[in-house]
């Protein structure tokens, strides 16, 4: 059930109809909306569970509480069993569970919904309307408030349809744009690229008071830090076992489906762990609906033969060990340009690299092969220190704690992973031709917000909720939903994230290995080539070579009339530095990618 939208404080059926139609890709199986007292709630359905029932809106027994819901509640069977003592269920699906859980526990119940969700719930007896987003923001929810009214939707483009009907013109948010251009930052706050349109932050709910036509936003959940008490009494091996149990349980819950389920496989540690765990679940015959997985698990991969980022050998190793069925796609530079405006349209906002295009092609491949649900490994890097720069955060933490010898030991043991990165940084500082002064390219400069660089666990928390993961989850949701495909992320079970967040840093980076507890906990199911893999890529493209080979297409953009008139760009300097880039005098592909993305976004949504 994958797209919701609505109005609060006013009614307008024409707006509701337009919003529903523009979200058709999120839910091709059904569309409906209902108008209540100063509230209109609508949804588009992608049927995954209770295919012949669970049509929305969903109601309480008295029909005075109304819900539209996007996502999945994976622990609904347990909640439903508890609620059956006092409530009458009309459907077999997970959405109705939210209604009755709220009836019994009000807003306090939101925290124990284990899943990914964005939902709107109208409680007429209490004169309240709630917009609620899941713990990590896996599913999106946006809103715009004005003149004691509010429009909300799963995607910004639906809100813009409401703006059109109300004769309101979208305007770009210059603060967000400048931060994106200068610091490569987005999705890190409630602000979006559109002035006045906000994202509801993860773990938050918006409460609208229908009597006063006003609202507040507050958190219903935050990452709980339980400290070392109790943990110190448990051995590392017991903690490894606990991690494994939680991970397997999370994977098992996310196989819940009445339609075909597949898995994204990049060849990296995280997606391989999901694939191998599912394979083990099939062997152990503990999958609730095995027919959804088929006779063999189906996996989907992007490969780039001959490119520096090609991971095909790792993908093939997982296939060899597990025997899964694999489908591969080779994204091509010449295909990207006709696709790019479509991708940006579905994303609603610009992207910071071309990596999401590889993911777009994987989602397209899965949908073409009949998948309706796709699991992948998103979130593990931010939980378990998967990116190489986290090593340096940990080294500083050890030194700050006067553990100099331990720090030196970790530096030595991780030398094959971190030393190439360190050497690259030093060379970039020494070689003037490698540097590009970003300030020359733009009309405004924005100071980068400081990041935590000497406390690994605090840095990981920061990246989960602001610096890294929110953008990746936006890419994932839009890329999958563009093809009416539901993406699920087993690492982002709130129980697993809370468990990992409370582990000491030395179980995340240990003896030179990041993601140590996962490598240990899954060593019996992971191919050793994957388990001891250092090289990290993920879903990426050969970006530098692609942009250099796209000189003609990019210069057409940089020489266009609209580009030359933009207030954000020093267009002559951009063209000059881009020609240096194509001649190999700088390697700043990410800067030019942001400029291209912003220009195309402005054409699609603002012009």
* pLDDT per position as a tens digit, 420-473: 888 877 776 665 445 567 889 999 989 888 999 999 999 999 999 999 999 999
Cβ atoms 135, 494 nearer than 8 A = yes
In angstroms, rounded to a whole number, what is the distance separating the alpha carbons of residues 181 and 269?
Answer: 31
In angstroms, rounded to a whole number, what is the distance separating the alpha carbons of residues 528 and 124?
Answer: 57
Q: Are strands 149-153 and 3-8 parallel, antiparallel or unpaired?
A: antiparallel
Q: Say if residue 150's pLDDT is above 80.
A: yes
Label residue 224 by pLDDT band (50, 70, 90).
confident
Give, in order, the Cα–Cα distances in Å from 20 to each of 2, 12, 343, 440.
12, 13, 20, 43
pLDDT at 229: 42
* pLDDT per position as a tens digit, 4-37: 999 999 999 999 999 999 999 999 999 999 999 8
> What distance separates the 2 farthest-apart alpha carbons in the chain?
71
Q: Say if residue 95's pLDDT is above 80.
A: yes
In angstroms, rounded to a whole number, what is the distance separating the alpha carbons of residues 359 and 565?
Answer: 32
Q: What domains appear along the chain, each with residue ranges and CATH number?
A: 3-219 (3.60.20.10), 234-385+445-531 (3.40.50.620), 542-607 (no CATH)
**How far from the centroid of its chain's Cα atoms is residue 275's Cα?**
19
**How far from the centroid of its chain's Cα atoms is residue 144's Cα?**
22
- The torsion region of residue 227 among left (phi > 0), alpha (psi -120 to 50) and beta comes to left
In angstroms, rounded to a whole number, what is the distance separating the alpha carbons of residues 313 and 544?
Answer: 22
Q: Say if residue 227's pLDDT is above 80.
A: no
Edge-to-edge strand list for the sheet holding 65-73 = 58-59, 65-73, 115-123, 128-133, 204-209, 214-219
Label residue 151 by pLDDT band (50, 70, 90).
very high
E-assigned strands of 243-384? 261-264, 298-302, 325-329, 373-375
Residue 537: exposed, middle, or buried by beta-carbon count in 10 A (0-12, 13-18, 19+)? middle
Q: Are strands 142-146 and 128-133 parallel, antiparallel or unpaired?
A: unpaired
Both tokens assigned to 1: 């059930």
pLDDT at 495: 97
Q: What is the pTM of this model?
A: 0.96
């Amino acid at each position: 059930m994958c797209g919701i939208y609505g109005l609060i404080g006013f009614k307008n059926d024409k707006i509701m109809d337009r919003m529903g139609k523009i979200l058709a890709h999120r839910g091709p199986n059904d569309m409906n909306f209902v108008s209540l007292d100063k509230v209109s709630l609508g949804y588009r359905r992608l049927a995954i569970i209770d295919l012949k029932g669970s049509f929305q809106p969903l109601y309480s027994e008295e029909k005075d509480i109304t819900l539209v819901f996007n996502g999945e509640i994976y622990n609904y069977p347990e909640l439903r069993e508890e609620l059956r003592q006092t409530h009458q269920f009309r459907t077999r699906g997970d959405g109705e569970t939210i209604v009755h859980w709220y009836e019994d526990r009000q807003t306090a119940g939101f925290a124990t919904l284990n899943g990914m969700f964005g939902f709107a719930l109208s409680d007429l007896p209490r004169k309240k309307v709630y917009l609620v987003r899941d713990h990590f923001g896996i599913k999106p929810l946006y809103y715009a408030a004005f003149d004691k009214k509010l429009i909300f939707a799963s995607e910004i483009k639906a809100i813009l349809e409401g703006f059109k009907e109300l004769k309101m013109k979208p305007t770009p948010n210059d603060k967000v744009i400048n931060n994106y251009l200068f610091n490569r930052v987005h999705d890190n706050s409630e602000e979006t690229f559109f002035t006045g349109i906000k994202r509801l932050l993860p773990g938050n709910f918006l409460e609208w008071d229908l009597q006063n036509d006003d609202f507040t936003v507050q958190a219903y959940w935050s990452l709980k830090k339980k400290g070392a008490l109790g943990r110190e009494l448990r051995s590392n091996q017991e903690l490894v076992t606990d991690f494994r149990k939680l991970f397997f349980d999370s994977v098992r819950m996310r196989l819940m489906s009445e339609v075909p389920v597949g898995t994204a496989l990049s060849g990296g540690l995280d997606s391989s762990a999901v694939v191998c765990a599912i394979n083990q679940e099939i062997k152990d015959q503990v999958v609730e609906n095995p027919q959804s997985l088929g006779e063999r698990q189906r996996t989907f991969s992007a490969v780039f033969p001959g490119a520096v980022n090609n991971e095909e050998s790792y993908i093939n190793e997982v296939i060899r060990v597990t025997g899964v069925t694999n489908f591969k796609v080779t994204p091509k530079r010449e295909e990207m340009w006709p696709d790019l405006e479509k991708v940006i349209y579905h994303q609603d906002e610009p992207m910071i690299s071309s990596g999401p295009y590889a993911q777009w092609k994987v989602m397209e491949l899965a949908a073409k092969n009949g998948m309706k649900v796709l699991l992948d490994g998103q979130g593990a890097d931010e939980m378990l220190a998967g990116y190489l720069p986290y090593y340096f955060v940990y080294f500083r933490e050890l030194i700050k704690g006067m553990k100099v010898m331990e720090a030196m030991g970790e530096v030595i043991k991780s030398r094959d992973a971190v030393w190439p990165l360190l050497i690259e940084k030093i060379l970039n500082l020494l070689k003037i031709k490698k540097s590009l002064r970003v300030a020359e390219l733009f009309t405004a400069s924005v100071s980068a917000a400081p990041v935590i660089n000497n406390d690994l666990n605090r840095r990981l928390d920061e990246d989960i909720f602001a610096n890294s993961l929110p953008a990746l989850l936006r890419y994932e949701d839009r890329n999958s939903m563009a093809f009416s495909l539901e993406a699920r992320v087993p690492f982002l079970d709130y129980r697993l994230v809370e468990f990992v967040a409370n582990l000491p840093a030395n179980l995340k980076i240990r003896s030179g290995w990041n993601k140590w507890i996962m490598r240990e906990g899954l060593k019996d199911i992971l191919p050793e080539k994957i388990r001891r893999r250092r090289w990290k890529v993920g879903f990426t493209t050969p970006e530098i070579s692609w942009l250099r080979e796209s000189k003609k297409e990019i210069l057409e953009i940089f020489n266009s009339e609209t580009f030359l008139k933009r207030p954000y760009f020093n267009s002559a300097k951009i063209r000059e530095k881009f020609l240096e880039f194509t001649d190999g005098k700088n390697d700043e592909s990410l800067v030019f990618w942001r400029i291209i993305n912003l220009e195309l976004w402005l054409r699609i949504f603002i012009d």
